Amino acid sequence: MSAKRKPHAAAGPDRAQVLTGATLAAAEILGLSQSGLAQVIGLSAPTVSRMKGGTYRLEEARKEWALAALFVRLYRSLDSMVAGRTADARLWLNSENRAFANRRPVDMIGDVQGLVHVVDYLDAARGRI
């Protein structure tokens, strides 16, 4: 009697590929430059350029992974609030906000504390909808 073998599901993209792609897409949609994205996720601008070129993927065991995941969360929250309107998302990110002492969110997300604060704000605002 031979044992039946289950067919293997086709291998999908790996987690690093997915998060790297989502991070780059979010930055492009939000109008963030490569150097701006580099500052947000704690990498050098040349490394972000390699990401864009497909020769570098985010590494799960490094701080860049957590920061990139948080940045994608920021994008997803903001995108849902503006119903996918890219211009509105960019405007919000680049406008002074009283909730942030009249600072622009884009200026805040370059450090971890600011990124967390902006994400927390969006999560709270989204929860009210």
Question: 46-60: per-residue pLDDT in tens?
Answer: 999 999 999 999 999
Flag whether the pTM goes above 0.85.
yes
3-state helix, strand, coil in the chain (%, to 5): 65, 0, 35
Residues 6+ apart with CB under 8 A from 11: none
**Residue 49 forms part of a structural domain:** yes
pLDDT of residue 8: 52
**Residue 76 forms part of a structural domain:** yes
Tokens of 5: 């073998």
Based on the structure, what is the number of domains in the chain? 1
**Residue 1 forms part of a structural domain:** no
Q: Which domain holds residue 102?
A: 15-128
Structure confidence by residue, pLDDT tens digits, 57-90: 999 999 999 999 999 999 999 999 999 999 999 9
- CA–CA gap between residue 17 and residue 7 (Å, rounded): 24
**Residue 6 forms part of a structural domain:** no
